[in-house]
A and B are shown apart, each in its own frame.
Chain A
């Protein structure tokens, strides 16, 4: 886990002042793209392959925003029979569906589904095993 100390680039020069000194900007930070509202964002991790056909693999890191309301087609975290579960949320003919590769549950009332938050993005470590070493062993959760 690394959190940057200073976001803004800083240069100290002993010889000539850099001509770029007046043009320095903070470097791109991936968190700005992944996290829209940090005070409503939580991170969960996928375990297992139940969402594989929706593009979520085992050990993927899920970014969850609680401020969003689930719409048709969104991937959500729901609390189903005693555990948190990642599911696709669908609205069909007035009923609500939560499905994954194992099957789906259906309710006629939104309140009956305990939707905890909406998944906004997925982070994955794509390194082959041989490169997953040392500080690179946990890349997606960096």
Chain B
């Protein structure tokens, strides 16, 4: 049996945990740069706020219903997610963290699921303060479906018999099914299939023909035969990206270099954490395509490194050089990013016959950088080209504090 555990309105719930006065009130969380709505409390959903709505479009609604707005505080969400996952891990022989707020658990050998599952849920809610819902079923696809149903059934849904499964899928809308994207949905619509119950009745051959091997898997999963193992979806990383929008437009190459220094430093850090080096570093710049009155420019360039690298010094100097090459005066840049590809394991370094290699030194410096930044907080030691004012940094007007990761931000009680 598989369980899918999902945090309810995770970002909004994490914000509310430290602001209990907002319980029962509408809360929304905005994406990076305060662009779009990416999380809503139940009350905010009832106010008519949709997922992905741009902030400026719902400003009237926010005012009208007195909705509380938060900028996304990933420092807080990351820590709360870790707490939830660790607590979940205590209840499952195996746990596969699927996203920041979801995890698949394997319940092999656990009996009396009707009793066991609510215990998991109550314990996680008490220990972390984050509400979770749990769906249990013989396959991952059905567990996902059970999870969706559990949200309206007290937070727990166990589909452990054929009768329960049949009843659950009968009226379940096909577009909410795991693995059904826009394309498949269109296909189903043409054939007038709107519920999972109806979809399941199609013969296996039909799935195979119309949806290839994925369809065959789905068909098996829907009939309660596991076809997707616990950690099947994890694929090897092909590229790592760091990209962000600026608060204001950037019109000067030096300022652009500051931003790219930060992004490339972060990228190098990520590579080192994954114990990978990259052979290619791509730098790209965006202008705001919604502003037709602005000159548009979307340059990008991929630099090939002679020797694969993951140290901050190398990647920053390349990123800065390439950005200077791409930059054009008179253009207002809105966003920039760096992508590392051609990833090779750190241990398998191939040297070049014609260039001297002293990366041992630079790698050492990067190691020191990582240790200091881990011990004293991110950004303690950084490249000077990052600058000090950083007016280009993300807009987050409604940012809450990092209650669980910074001493200065802990809650004061009376």
Q: Which residues of A contact B (CB under 8 A)?
A: 1-3, 5, 37, 39-40, 42-48, 50, 61-62, 66-67, 77, 79, 82-86, 114, 116, 138, 141
**Which one of B81-89, B223-231, B327-335 contacts A?**
B81-89
B127 touches A39 (CB 8 A): yes
Give chain B nearest CB distance to A50 CB in angstroms.
Answer: 6
- Chain B 390-405, CB-CB to A under 8 Å as 1, else 0, gives 0000000000000110
**Which one of B181-189, B276-284, B370-378 contacts A?**
B370-378
14 A-B residue contacts at CB 8 Å? A1-B376, A5-B375, A39-B83, A39-B87, A39-B128, A42-B404, A43-B404, A44-B412, A46-B413, A66-B126, A66-B128, A67-B126, A116-B20, A138-B407
Q: How many A-B residue pairs have CB under 8 A?
A: 70
Q: Given the complex of chains A and B, what is the CA–CA distance between A46 and B412 in angstroms?
A: 6
Among residues of B, the one whose C-beta sits closest to the C-beta of A62 is B413
Which residues of the other chain, B, contact A67 by a CB distance below 8 angstroms? 123, 126-127
A37 touches B410 (CB 8 A): no
Known: A3-B374, A40-B127, A67-B127. A45 touches B83 (CB 8 A): no
Which residues of the other chain, A, contact B20 by a CB distance below 8 angstroms? 79, 114, 116
With A67-B126, A82-B21, A83-B414 known, 17 other A-B pairs at CB within 8 A are A2-B376, A3-B374, A5-B375, A39-B82, A44-B410, A44-B413, A45-B410, A46-B412, A47-B412, A61-B410, A66-B126, A67-B123, A79-B20, A84-B413, A86-B414, A114-B20, A138-B407
A85 touches B404 (CB 8 A): no
Known: A47-B413, A84-B414. A141 touches B403 (CB 8 A): no
Which listed residue (A2, A3, A82, A86) contacts B413, Cβ 8 A? A86
Q: Given the complex of chains A and B, what is the CA–CA distance between A67 and B127 in angstroms?
A: 4
Interface membership of B110, Cβ < 8 A: no
Main secondary structure of the interface of B (DSSP, over half): helix
B407 touches A48 (CB 8 A): no
Q: Given the complex of chains A and B, what is the CA–CA distance between A25 and B412 in angstroms?
A: 37
B345-374 at interface with A (beta carbon < 8 Å): 371, 374
Give chain B nearest CB distance to A114 CB in angstroms.
Answer: 6
Q: Given the complex of chains A and B, what is the CA–CA distance between A62 and B413 in angstroms?
A: 9
Which residues of the other chain, B, contact A85 by a CB distance below 8 angstroms? 413-414
Among residues of A, the one whose C-beta sits closest to the C-beta of B410 is A43
Give chain A nearest CB distance to B16 CB in angstroms.
Answer: 11
Interface membership of B411, Cβ < 8 A: yes
Q: Given the complex of chains A and B, what is the CA–CA distance between A86 and B375 in angstroms?
A: 30
Interface membership of B129, Cβ < 8 A: yes
Give chain B nearest CB distance to A69 CB in angstroms.
Answer: 8
Give chain B nearest CB distance to A68 CB in angstroms.
Answer: 9
Which listed residue (B123, B126, B376, B413) contacts A77, Cβ 8 A? B413
B375 touches A2 (CB 8 A): yes
Which residues of the other chain, A, contact B374 by a CB distance below 8 angstroms? 3, 5
Q: Given the complex of chains A and B, what is the CA–CA distance between A1 and B410 in angstroms?
A: 13
A1 touches B414 (CB 8 A): no
Which residues of the other chain, B, contact A62 by a CB distance below 8 angstroms? 413
Which residues of the other chain, A, contact B376 by a CB distance below 8 angstroms? 1-2
Known: A1-B377, A5-B371, A39-B87. A44 touches B411 (CB 8 A): yes
Q: Given the complex of chains A and B, what is the CA–CA distance between A83 and B413 in angstroms?
A: 7
Give chain A nearest CB distance to B410 CB in angstroms.
Answer: 5
A40 touches B128 (CB 8 A): yes
**Interface-central residue, A39, A46, A66, A116, by most chain B CB under 10 Å:** A39
